[in-house]
Amino acid sequence: MATIKDIAEKAGYSISTVSRVLNNDQSLSVPDETREKIYEVAEQLNYRKKTVRLLVKNIAFLYWLSDKEELEDVYYKTMRIEIEKLAGIFNVEMLTYKISGGIRQIPDNIEGFIAVGTFSDKELAYLRSITSNGVFIDSSPDPHHYDSVRPDLAQITRTTIDFLVEKGHKEIGLIGGTYHNPNTDEDERDLRERVFRRYMEEKGLLKEEYIFSHRGFSVENGYFLMNKAIEKLGDKLPTAFFVAADPIAVGCLQALNEQGIAIPNRVSVVSINNISVTKYVSPPLTTFHIDIRELCKNAIELLLEQILEKRKLVKTLYLGSELVVRKSTN
């Protein structure tokens, strides 16, 4: 990367003059041709001035997941680590608050927040009462008031079905978790399951007996659900499963391997997230890569737009994903 010294040597001016020109020092009196020469050389050398970021203080990171939920799904742990790392890069002074402390622990003088997890209507109302600046990652619980950035799970689900159908599969099942509604304390169908049902029905392929879901996105849940499917369906097991998340899929592979069911020759498996372990399970897992760093980076940028640029228009940003094909499908 070119430095101011490199530009000064090539342009034939002092380092001080080059620095003051590139930093737009209005008190510097030099001919226009001098400025033009410095700018021309800087462009030739592909010089990029370091951006000095304003310090943004008093930001809350609401990590609304239990320790158990983080342990079960490395996706969220990775997200937390990325947010904390990027806060430093973006010069954001951030304090983390966990669900165990309750929503009232959040001070009423925060400048804004970034949130991960599930929030009740009462919790959202409290957030609206203390700040108008906020971004949710991985969900959009209050799209009329707050920004959100999330993977496009609906599109991933449809793409998975298309991928499997193109491979010749017509008997396709789903194994997934449920969404816990904090307002009713009830388990509800996850977005992936709802889209799966609709899209499979459109294609005339939906079979209710091929759908297995239960609360939790853990390896244990995947192992439990796949064993349940094997016990219930026996030889009528579908030829492919769409699995809601990698930890569940790891459990599914364990169950299939234990039962001697060939993957992918008898059952293909496709999942979501592309966590590190998916390369090393047996067989390596076909899964959609979700760029967690990009999710977190966009969340911080959206929040800074609200705070520094005073943007009032609410944004919901969906990020695409890439299917990484490995040996769990054919």
Residue 74: which CATH number?
3.40.50.2300
- Strand-pair category, 322-324 with 286-289: antiparallel
pLDDT at 65 over 70: yes
Would the pLDDT of 51 be above 60? no
For residues 93 and 175, state if they share a domain: no
Quick count: other Cβ atoms within 10 Å of Cβ 236?
10
Range of the domain at 90: 56-150+293-319
Same domain, 23 and 67: no
32 and 64 part of one domain: no
At residue 40, the pLDDT reads 87
Residues 84, 13 share a domain: no
Phi, psi of 137 (to 5 degrees): -105, 130
- 187/267 same-domain check: yes
Say if residue 129 is in the same domain as residue 188: no
Torsion angle (degrees, nearest 10) of CA 111, 117, 121, 122: -60
pLDDT at 108 over 90: yes
Give residue 324's pLDDT band: very low, low, confident or very high (50, 70, 90). Answer: very high
Same structural domain for residues 84 and 146? yes
Q: Verify that 30 and 118 share a domain, yes or no.
A: no
Does 110 reside within a domain? Answer: yes
Write down the pLDDT at residue 188.
95
Q: Residue 103: count other Cβ atoms within 10 Å of its Cβ.
A: 18
Cα(69)–Cα(275) distance, integer angstroms: 16
Q: What is the per-residue pLDDT across 238-294, written as a single tens digit (0 to 9) for each?
A: 999 999 999 999 999 999 999 999 999 999 999 999 999 999 999 999 999 999 999
Tally: H helices and E strands in the chain: 11, 14
Percent with pLDDT over 70 in the chain: 98
The residue type at 102: G
Q: How many domains does the chain have?
A: 3
For residue 26, the model assigns a pLDDT of 67
Hunting for tokens 């005073």 — which residue is that? 310
Confidence of residue 67 (pLDDT cuts 50, 70, 90): confident
Q: How confident is the model at residue 2 (pLDDT cuts 50, 70, 90)?
A: confident
- Is the same domain home to 102 and 126? yes
Domain co-membership, 212 together with 270:
yes
Confidence of residue 49 (pLDDT cuts 50, 70, 90): low
Would 329 be classed as within a structural domain? no
Rounded mean pLDDT, 91-97:
95
Question: Tens of pLDDT along 162-179?
Answer: 999 999 999 999 999 999
* Prediction pTM value: 0.83
C-alpha angle 312/316/321, rounded to 5°?
150
**Does 203 lie in the same domain as 228?**
yes
For the chain, the average pLDDT equals 94
pLDDT reading at 50 higher than 70: no
Tokens representing 151? 């993977």
Does 329 have pLDDT greater than 90? yes
pLDDT in tens, 18-45: 988 887 776 888 887 898 899 889 888 9
* pLDDT computed for residue 89 by the predictor: 87
Q: In the structure, what pLDDT confidence band is assigned to residue 52 with cuts at 50, 70 and 90?
A: low
- The answer, yes or no, to whether residue 200 has pLDDT greater than 80, is yes
State the pLDDT at residue 23.
Answer: 78
pLDDT at residue 1 greater than cutoff 90: no
Averaged pLDDT, 64-77: 88
Q: How high is the pLDDT of residue 73?
A: 85
Cα distances from 209 to residues 70, 104, 196, in angstroms, run 30, 44, 14
| Same domain flag for 91 and 192 | no
pLDDT band at 186 (very low <50, low <70, confident <90, very high): very high
Three-class secondary structure of residue 323 per DSSP: strand
